[in-house]
């Protein structure tokens, strides 16, 4: 049995907390929201996962020191925009060599850093790792079969995380490519916004397939230019996560895109979704990274134009279709 602290009580943090508890571990959950802690203590329910029953012996607290002290593993599950501020609060209680696995997805707009890079900067004493893949909290909370990948600097840490999370309904693979895993998990949210916009416009399966296929091409181009491994983008945290986020109604990014495709503004769409839409926060960062590394990302460009420049969704699709003619893969030579 391991002692585990969950930093963040959103739907993903709570789904994983119950998974880990059911795996036989001692779990403490922290939230920055006192009313959320009181709700879970009193009802053993979470408002975003109404069918999930929280175990009686799981601990819920506002005390970050209590959540972190003496723990074998810390799981950071706060939205990407709060990762840095939360890590600063964690610093005084983080011991040397503490394993911290980040399960959130995003890129910091101001610094263009991945979330693990932020954690490494704010918690230099920690052993920072990631867990990512096609894994909606709604399905994990119902014990539906799911696969993820654990990325870490050392094989030992990756296999340790694998051993804690693995169960008959949650299979975990390991990888040394932390950067590639995080980029795949972050950038797919931007492509999912585009897929949702296409759905909102009433387009069909052909359009969805095109966005997924050309989307992973954009993600792979940028990811490898930044140092990620091409195999990662063909794996669970790349094409796997992209498929599920573009196709599922569990995806808040796709749902927000659908609303924008139907004519709602970005603000109206996010208000209706009522959850953090990570793709909106990652879109500007993705565009800035594409410019920094001189990588063509036309879908990302058009998503930014719709989100922040007032461009209509139908015009964005038209401009994508009418771009200059090109070859599908420049790596394949003609005879």
User: Total domain count for the chain?
Assistant: 2
Band of pLDDT at residue 321, cut at 50, 70 and 90: confident
- Residue 101 pLDDT: 98
Residue 199 lies in a domain: yes
Domain housing 206: 182-321
- Residue 296 pLDDT: 95
**What Å distances lie between residue 309 and 93, 266, 288, 323, CA to CA?**
43, 11, 15, 19
Q: Are residues 188 and 137 in the same domain?
A: no
Q: Give the DSSP H or E segment for 230.
A: helix 230-233
- Residue 52 pLDDT: 93
Say how far residue 306 (Cα) sits from the centre of its chain: 22
- Residue 214 pLDDT: 95
Locate the DSSP E strands across 81-145: 99-102, 127-132
- Domain limit, last residue, from 125, 156, 176: 176
- Residue 330 pLDDT: 80
Catalytic residue, chosen from 188, 208, 229, 284, is: 188
Q: Which has the higher per-residue pLDDT, 325 or 283?
A: 283
- Domain limit, last residue, from 113, 145, 176: 176
- Domain limit, last residue, from 116, 146, 176: 176
User: How many CA atoms are closer than 13 Å to the CA of 286, on its beta-carbon side?
Assistant: 34
Residue 330 lies in a domain: no
Closest CA to 278 of 78, 94, 75, 70: 78
Q: What is the pLDDT of residues 122-135, one digit of tens each?
A: 999 999 999 999 99
d(Cα 147, Cα 138) in Å, to the nearest integer? Answer: 14
- Residue 63 pLDDT: 96
Query: At residue 267, does pLDDT exceed 90?
Result: no
Q: Are residues 197 and 276 in the same domain?
A: yes
Catalytic residue check, 188: yes
Query: At residue 6, does pLDDT exceed 90?
Result: yes
Q: What is the pTM of this model?
A: 0.94
Residue 326 lies in a domain: no
| % of residues, the chain, pLDDT over 90 | 87
d(Cα 2, Cα 333) in Å, to the nearest integer? Answer: 53
């Amino acid at each position: 049995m391991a002692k585990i602290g969950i930093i963040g009580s959103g739907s993903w943090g709570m789904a994983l907390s119950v998974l880990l508890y059911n795996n036989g571990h001692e779990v403490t959950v922290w939230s920055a929201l006192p009313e959320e802690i009181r709700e879970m203590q009193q009802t053993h329910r979470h408002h975003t996962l109404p069918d999930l029953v929280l175990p009686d012996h799981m601990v819920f607290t506002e005390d970050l020191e209590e959540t972190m002290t003496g723990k074998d593993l810390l799981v950071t599950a706060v939205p990407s925009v709060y990762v840095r501020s939360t890590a600063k609060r964690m610093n005084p209680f983080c011991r040397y060599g503490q394993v911290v696995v980040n399960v959130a997805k995003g890129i910091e707009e101001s610094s263009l850093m991945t979330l693990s890079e932020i954690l490494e900067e704010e918690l230099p004493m920690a052993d920072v790792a990631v867990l990512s893949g096609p894994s909606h909290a709604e399905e994990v909370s119902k014990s539906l079969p799911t696969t993820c990948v654990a990325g870490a600097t050392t094989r030992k840490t990756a296999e340790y995380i694998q051993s804690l999370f693995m169960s008959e309904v949650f299979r975990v693979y390991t990888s040394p490519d932390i950067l590639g895993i995080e980029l795949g998990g972050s950038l797919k949210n931007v492509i999912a916004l585009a897929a949702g916009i296409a759905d909102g416009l009433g387009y069909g399966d052909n359009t969805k397939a095109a966005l997924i296929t050309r989307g992973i091409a954009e993600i792979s181009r940028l990811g490898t230019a930044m140092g990620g491994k091409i195999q990662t983008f063909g794996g669970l945290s790349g094409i796997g996560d992209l498929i599920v986020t573009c196709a599922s109604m569990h995806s808040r990014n796709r749902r927000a895109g659908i609303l924008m495709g139907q004519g709602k503004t970005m603000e109206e769409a996010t208000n209706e979704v009522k959850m953090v839409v990570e793709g909106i926060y990652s879109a500007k960062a993705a565009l800035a990274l594409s410019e920094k590394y001189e990588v063509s990302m036309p879908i990302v460009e058009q998503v930014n134009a719709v989100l922040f420049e007032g461009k209509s969704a139908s015009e964005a699709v038209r401009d994508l279709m009418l771009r200059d003619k090109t070859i599908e893969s420049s790596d394949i030579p003609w005879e």
